[in-house]
Amino acid sequence: MTSEQMQPGDLCLVTGGSGFLASWIEKYLLEGGYKVRGTVRSLQDKKLETLRDLLPGVEFVEADLREERGWTSAVEGCKWVFHVATPQATKYEKNRTSGALSGTKYVMAAALASNTVKKIVVTSSEAAIAYGHPRSKSDFSEDDWSIGVDKFEDYMQSKTVAEKKAWEMANDTSQNPQNIALSTINPALVLGPTLVPWSRFSLITIQDIAQGRMPLLPNMSLHVVDVRDCARMHIAIMHDRSTDGHRHLSFGASGKFVDLAIAIRTDYADRGFKPSTSVAPWWVLWLPSFFSKDVATIYSRIGNVQSYRTKYPEVYKYEFTSFRDMVRASMDSILEHKWINPKV
């Protein structure tokens, strides 16, 4: 395994280049003097003009997670591959698990066959670590894997399945004869400002709470990370060869789900946003847990305190760690883009 590190001028691939998180990674790579290539589903996408204005210098290429074509040329000449793309947890995406799995296979296969790639960082999720466990389990680290994922809703299931596929391919000498390094990052709920003027799952959650679409909130622990920290942590992991072969939890602050609503009420009540802070008792979700995969996914966490402990705290020092500040940055961004409007 090579000990080579990132150097300004190196070409980096960022998959899902139009995304909430990926766009911040691209921005920080450009600021660091790296060459950046980002993938998009289609070069005919109307978003491209906006992306090129926001991220001048990024080369955008076409590659779809559900199609093998395009990935070999996307990887060509790259030294560092950030696989961020995944089907989003929105109503517009179908069969997320199959899309995440096929995309991981295509990206990994292209990168592992490359003569230039030195390392791959795959964006996974806390969903691959801390879900489906017995209610008695309260402490989680990178050693844990979510269990019973076939009972999860599609997005949560996809993160575990895709990350396991990445490790399987990286650890198989027949598929990775050059022993190209892999690291994964497992972010908690990603909040903060968006560079791109289209919404993603994390900010939709904030929108829904602010607009009163969640009158009862789940009684569960919540770990959050600012998108700017998460993006910088991706680059820190890529640069630090001691992270090779490791998973890395990414979270900057912890609290309860209801704290999202409390933060919104505290800072935005004067603009008409007074979301409910009522917490659903566990028994309200007991029966739905048998019929709804959305409820079944989180049910083991209801009423319990889940603590996250990273094995590698030295990898990244968080800059935006205040829970309240992350919610405020999210709301300010949502209001700036006029996804919701003040009520007073």
The DSSP call for residue 132 is: S
CB 313 within 8 A of CB 242: no
Catalytic residue among 159, 165, 256, 317: 159
Q: Are 43 and 106 in contact (CB under 8 A)?
A: no
Beta strands in 9-107 (DSSP E): 11-14, 35-40, 59-62, 80-83
User: Is 159 assigned a catalytic role?
Assistant: yes
Distance in angstroms (rounded) separating the CA atoms of residues 143 and 111: 26
Rounded distance, CA 320 to CA 123, Å? 20
Angstrom distance (rounded) from CA 82 to CA 89: 20
Task: List Cβ<8 Å contacts ≥24 apart for 94-98.
Answer: 95/154, 96/154, 96/155, 96/157, 96/158, 97/154, 97/157, 97/158, 97/161, 97/162, 98/66
Handedness of CA 131, 132, 137, 140 (dihedral sign): negative
Do 203 and 190 meet the contact criterion of CB atoms below 8 Å apart? no
Q: Rounded to an integer, what distance in angstroms lies between the CA atom of residue 35 and that of residue 56? A: 11
Which residues carry out catalysis?
A: 159
